Amino acid sequence: MFDNFVVPDLLPAAPELFLVFMALAILMIDLFVKDSRRTVTFALAQLTLVGCAAIQIFTSSQEVAYTFANMFVDDVMADLLKLFVYMTMIVVLFYSRAYVIDRPAMNKGEYYILALFATLGMMVMISANNFIAIYVGLELLSLSLYAMVAMNRESLAATEAAMKYFILGALASGLLLYGMSMIYGATGTLEITQISETLLSGEVNKTVLVFGLVFLVAGLAFKLGVVPFHMWVPDVYQGSPTAVTLIIGSAPKLAAFAIVMRLLVSGLITLAQDWQNMLIILSVLSMAVGNLAAIAQTNIKRMLAYSAISHMGFMLLGVVTGLVGGDLRYAPNAYSSAMFYVVSYVLMSVAAFGMILMMSRAGFEADELDDYKGLNKRSPWFAGIMLMIMFSMAGVPFFVGFFAKFSVLQAVVASGQIWLAIVAVLFSLIGAFYYLRVVKLMYFDKPIEDTPISAPLDVRVLVSANGLAIAALGLFPNVLMTICGYSLLRSL
């Protein structure tokens, strides 16, 4: 029975294999760690992520490589997105460390191990070339996050958030699976590249295919957190421990973008007119609901949750303008602008939640807007960093958020959909209000307390570097734009 077994090429999946081995090793080592601060577990988790990045760089190639019976693809886009995931998770774990140590319910080795398994799920999602691989990666990420949200068992809010996330996540997974099964029924294959070839041949049942596409887009919309599949986002962001909210609000967006590109652009490009119309509706609704609902929030985590909904809606504009009337000449500019946007958003989101973590301490979550009153009097430097983050998210020149929005709007205008660009600009102007409100609280209101910010040195240095990176990429955006454009040209 093993005569036809072909040994897969393990080199394209070397970072994943290394991460699996290390995560299991750390799981065993943590059993013998007596240090209550879990320094060994933390250090090994960070070394694992650094090792994955090194392997990714040394095994990268300009050519597209398939392995595991074409279920796994390694290309330039996958290499770049995975490197961004490693960097994000390294920074996230540094930010989280002091927060986790201060909370005994979360100060366990499982926090770091689950973070590694979540990273593995993202890596599989980014390189998936098969519906089964996508689903395995997605569930690995989702189950890790459900467990992390519920880690603080003493918190009723965290337990409630975990239940909501789990139930709605299971529903979304069901929608995604149902859509995948219908597309499999219509095309006879689970492999994304083969689906594309089958659709080009024209020998498919279009009705079944479109029904499958609707369920598929609904499942993807949930994972991106766009309207009307956004109901979990504010509750999970607010109820989760801030260290976990930081993970949910950052790196998984990169993996979700990769799945959108693999499924819709690589696999279902011939159905572009159908999914573009759906994504335009999701995009406009997300920008409307996200920006308008954020104005009413008094909790900064909840405000950033609605902000995330609007940002993901904005990112989808780049995806929907790649193909116009069967013309693909806009595609490189449109898809690279969407990739640039999602990378920029992750950088800003990590910085924003990093500031919340830095200002939190044992028994105090700095998650209310009032906690930022008079921050300029307590710490002018970190008030300046927060100002840069808020200005960038609002799209104020010259920060990276401005160029991210500008590149997407440029792609929309180039495609001829002027009305869509006008709608996006109007909602961005509305959105600027709640970002500028945070700046107003920091600089014009009296502080509720005058205690200095007492965060560890590494966190303060990292938050500063994160904020300055937002400013630096705003001054020199071409470097990141060029890298994103090149990776997509070599991969799609």
Asked whether residue 3 is domain-assigned, the answer is: no
The whole-number pLDDT of residue 147 equals 93
Tokens representing 450 are 């005058």
Question: What pLDDT is attached to residue 245?
Answer: 93
Considering the domain boundaries, does residue 4 fall inside one?
A: no
Percent of the chain residues past pLDDT 90, beyond the cut: 55
Tell me, what's the pLDDT at 3? 56
Q: What does the block give as tokens for 23?
A: 């995560």
**What average pLDDT does this structure show over 456-460?**
83
What's the pLDDT at 327?
Answer: 67
> Which of 228, 256, 240 is CA-nearest to residue 166?
240
Q: Is the pLDDT of residue 323 over 80?
A: no
Predicted pLDDT of residue 326 = 64
Structure tokens at 234: 């504010």
Residue 5 lies in a domain: no
Does the pLDDT value for residue 286 go beyond 90?
A: yes
Neighbours of 492 (CB within 10 A): 18
Q: What are phi and psi of 201, to 5 degrees?
A: -70, -25
Reported confidence tier of residue 23, pLDDT bands at 50, 70, 90 = very high
- Helix 109-127 and helix 251-260: axis angle, to 10°? 20
**With contact defined as beta carbons under 8 Å apart, do 241 and 152 qualify?**
yes
- Please tell me the predicted confidence (pLDDT) of residue 450: 75
Is 1 domain-assigned?
no
Q: State the Cα–Cα distance between residues 476 and 398, nearest whole angstrom.
A: 10
In this predicted structure, what is the pLDDT of residue 362?
66
Higher pLDDT: 178 or 365? It is 178
- The mean pLDDT value for 171-180 works out to 91
302 confidence band (pLDDT: 50, 70, 90): very high
* Gap between the Cα atoms of 205 and 185, Å rounded: 9
Angle at alpha carbon of residue 127, lines to 130 and 140, rounded to 5°: 80
pLDDT at 457: 82
- pTM as predicted: 0.94
CA distance 114 to 162: 15
DSSP 54: H
Q: Which amino acid is at 420?
A: L
**pLDDT tens digits for range 395-448:** 988 899 999 999 999 999 988 889 999 999 999 999 999 999 999 999 998 888
Question: Within 10 A of 408 (CB to CB), how many other CB atoms are there?
Answer: 24
Secondary structure letter of residue 60 according to DSSP: -
What residues are paired with 66 via a beta bridge?
A: 73
Judged against a pLDDT cut of 90, whether residue 9 lies above it is answered with: no
Query: Burial code of 58-94, b = ≥16 C-beta within 10 A, e = fewer?
Result: eebeeebbbbbebbbbbbbbbbbbbbbbbbbbbbbbb
Does 345 reside within a domain? yes
Tell me if residue 450 falls in helix, strand or coil. coil
How far are the Cα atoms of 118, 119, 148 from residue 152, in angstroms, in the given order? 18, 21, 8
Give the separation between CA 324 and CA 139, rounded to whole angstroms. 34
139, 130 contact by CB (below 8 A): no
Backbone angles phi, psi at 128, to 5 degrees: -70, 135
User: Which band of pLDDT confidence, cut at 50, 70 and 90, is reported for residue 28?
Assistant: very high
In this prediction, residues 164-177 reach a mean pLDDT of: 91
SS3 327: strand
Closest residue by Cα to residue 315 from 281, 343, 286, 338:
338
Within-domain flag for 249: yes
At residue 230, the pLDDT reads 87
Query: Whole-number mean pLDDT of the chain?
Result: 89
- Tell me the per-residue pLDDT of 132-154, one tens digit each, with 9 for 90 and over: 999 999 999 999 999 999 988 88
Q: Could you tell me if 218 and 180 are in contact, meaning their C-beta atoms sit under 8 angstroms apart?
A: no
Q: What is the mean pLDDT of residues 166-171?
A: 91
Q: What is the pLDDT of residue 1?
A: 46
Q: Which amino acid is at 341?
A: Y
- What pLDDT score does 316 carry? 92
Contact, 408 vs 341, CB < 8 A? yes
Does residue 467 lie in a domain region? yes
Q: How many domains does the chain have?
A: 1
Give the phi and the psi of residue 146 in degrees, each rounded to 5.
Answer: -55, -45
Q: Domain range spanning residue 20? A: 11-489
Does residue 351 lie in a domain region? yes
**Does residue 220 carry a pLDDT above 70?**
yes
Q: What is the DSSP letter of 261?
A: I
**Nearest C-alpha neighbor of 126 from the set 170, 54, 90, 72:** 72
- Amino acid (one-letter) located at 190: L
